[in-house]
Amino acid sequence: MTTEEALLKLTGSTADEVVEVLGMFCPDGVERSQPTVLPQGAEPLRQIPLPAVAASVSYVDGVTGGNIFVMTRTGVQRLAAAMMGMDAGAVEETEDLSELELSAAGEAMNQMMAAAASATGAVLGQEVEIGPPETRFFSSPEDAADVYERTPHMTSVGFTMLGEPCRLVQLIPNAFIVRMTRALAELEAETVSSGAGVSGTGVPNEAIRAVPVRVWAELGRTRMPVGQAVSLPPGAVVELQSAPDDPVQLYVNGRHFASGRLLLVEQEWAVRIDHVLAPAGPATTDQGGAT
């Protein structure tokens, strides 16, 4: 995987999260274009229509780098209206943006980047934490020229949100993209090797494909004497031997099948599979985990 491919992959997955989060506020109101890698030394905000509002979010843990989401003034007003459940098309355009509208833009950025950081963290195999958003108003190109630190790599992707153009610029240091390239290459290698296994003996034949199986996720487990177990009163707290960011283990009919990360999908727990275990031996009969 080349550096350019890794950059485009990173920005593409971030853009997908942007569309998903913005889509919750304005269904059918968001489209994205293909990401591009900006030439070295480019001024990332040179092409934006002004005046504009830029909301930026940095990573605070895991990796360094930054994300800037630039919106038109009208775009911010429409987005704020949509976030409040109002008709974005009926917004009366004004010269000045209210504090509430700017705050809504920052909050939307916070939610988009939290989702994107989670997707990036899944690729890197570690949690990526974001900082609070910063919102700025730019009325001229000079305003925007030196506000953000230049990084060796920069990408840009355009969106249309509620009829208004907006743009995400990612500022990406070398160390980040080196790790990302390596992690993506490892993921590709794993996909190829597990794919070979599945095409062998792992896939059940047609006749048994429809058999329902029980699937459960194990959050953690512990051991205790039976006397203690049977005397647990309601309200007792049982500590599990796992850290909050440990992967959860997925079992299919008692067989340890995969590990992954807990996610929330429409207010319900879900598991994103990180690793699928190679098919091996007889099923373990281990069913003792707390779920």
Partner 1 sequence: MARVLVVDDAAFMRKMLADVLGKAGHEVVGEGANGNEAVEQFQALRPDIMTLDITMPEKDGLAALKEILSLDASARVVMCSALGQESKVLEAIKSGAKDFVVKPFQPDRVVDAIGKALT
Per CB under 8 A, the list member of 84, 86, 175, 203 interacting with partner 1 is 84
Look at the alpha carbons of 107, 112, 116, 119 in this order and tell me if their dihedral is positive or negative: positive
Smallest distance from partner 1 to CB 231, Å: 23
Q: Is 91 in the site for partner 1 (CB under 8 A)?
A: no
Rounded Cα gap, residues 252 and 241, in angstroms: 22
Nearer to partner 1, 206 or 266 (CB): 266
For residue 65, the tally of other CB atoms under 10 A from its CB is 20
Per CB under 8 A, the list member of 29, 66, 75, 106 interacting with partner 1 is 106
b/e code 127-163 from CB counts within 10 Å (16+ = b): ebebeebebbebeeeebbeeebeebebbbbbbbebbe
Nearer to partner 1, 132 or 202 (CB): 132
Per CB under 8 A, the list member of 110, 165, 173, 216 interacting with partner 1 is 110
> What is Dmax (Cα atoms) for the chain?
73
Among candidate residues 133, 150, 122, the one with its CA nearest the CA of residue 273: 122
Per CB under 8 A, the list member of 192, 210, 211, 264 interacting with partner 1 is 264
Question: Which residues in the 132-191 window bind partner 1 by CB under 8 A?
Answer: 132
Residue 201: Cβ-neighbour burial (10 angstroms; 0-12, 13-18, 19+): exposed
Question: Which residues in the 6-25 window bind partner 1 by CB under 8 A?
Answer: 17, 21, 24-25
Nearer to partner 1, 17 or 218 (CB): 17
Smallest distance from partner 1 to CB 265, Å: 9
Nearer to partner 1, 63 or 117 (CB): 117
Question: Which residues in the 64-83 window bind partner 1 by CB under 8 A?
Answer: 80, 83
Smallest distance from partner 1 to CB 261, Å: 7
Number of residues that bind partner 1 (CB under 8 A): 34
Write 34-40 long-range contacts (CB < 8 A, 24+).
34/157, 35/7, 35/8, 35/11, 35/155, 35/156, 35/157, 36/155, 36/156, 36/157, 37/4, 37/7, 37/8, 37/153, 37/154, 37/155, 38/154, 38/155, 38/156, 38/169, 40/152
Per CB under 8 A, the list member of 42, 114, 187, 276 interacting with partner 1 is 114
- The H-or-E segment that residue 142 falls in is helix 141-145
Smallest distance from partner 1 to CB 142, Å: 27
Question: Which residues in the 196-255 window bind partner 1 by CB under 8 A?
Answer: 244-245
Applying CB under 8 A, the residues found at the interface with partner 1 are: 17, 21, 24-25, 80, 83-84, 99-101, 103-104, 106-107, 110-111, 114-119, 121, 127, 130-132, 244-245, 261-264, 267
